[in-house]
Amino acid sequence: MDGARGTRRRCGAPQRRAVRALAATAAVVTLAACAGGSATAGAPSGTGATTGTVTTGATTPAPTPVPATSTTPPPAPSLTTPATPAATTPAPSGGATPAPSWLGRRVLKLRKDGYGVMGPTPPELDPRNIATEDTLPPPAGGTFRSTVTAVPASVVARSTWGPGCPVTLEDLRYVTVSFIGFDGRPHTGELLVNKAAAPAMVRVFRKLYAARFPVERMVVTTVEERDAPPTGDGNTTGAFNCRSAAGTTHWSQHAYGLAIDVNPFMNPYMKGGITLPELAGTYRDRADVRPGMITRGSPAARAFAAEGWGWGGNWKSLKDYMHFSRNGT
In this predicted model, what pLDDT tens digit does every residue of 240-295 receive, in sequence order?
A: 999 988 777 899 999 999 999 999 999 999 999 999 999 999 999 999 999 999 99
> Is residue 157 situated within a structural domain?
yes
Q: How confident is the model over 116-167, as pLDDT tens digits?
A: 999 999 999 999 999 999 999 999 999 999 999 999 999 999 999 999 999 9
> Is residue 115 situated within a structural domain?
yes
Mean pLDDT, the chain, as a whole number? 81
- Would you list the DSSP string of 136-180? SPPPGGG---EEEEPPPHHHHHTSS--TTSSS-GGGEEEEEEEEE
Say how far apart CA 267 and CA 1 lie, in whole Å: 10
> Is residue 92 situated within a structural domain?
no
> Is residue 219 situated within a structural domain?
yes
Q: How confident is the model over 20-69, as pLDDT tens digits?
A: 443 443 433 333 333 333 333 333 333 333 334 433 344 444 444 444 44
> Is residue 88 situated within a structural domain?
no
> Is residue 65 situated within a structural domain?
no
Contacts 24+ apart (CB under 8 A), 271-275: 271/247, 271/317, 271/318, 271/319, 272/318, 273/118, 274/115, 274/118, 275/118
Number of domains, the chain? 1
CA 256 to chain centre: 17
> Is residue 211 situated within a structural domain?
yes
Say how far apart CA 97 and CA 133 lie, in whole Å: 11
pLDDT for 90 equals 52
Domain containing 165 equals: 13-46+110-260
pTM of the model: 0.74
Query: Which 3 state secondary structure label does DSSP give 207?
Result: helix
- For residues 213 and 290, the answer to whether their CB atoms sit within 8 Å is no
Q: How confident is the model over 267-278, as pLDDT tens digits?
A: 999 999 999 999
- For residues 292 and 261, the answer to whether their CB atoms sit within 8 Å is no
> Is residue 100 situated within a structural domain?
no
Using alpha carbons only, give the angle 171, 173, 178 rounded to the nearest 5 degrees: 155
Q: Is the pLDDT at 71 greater than 90, yes or no?
A: no
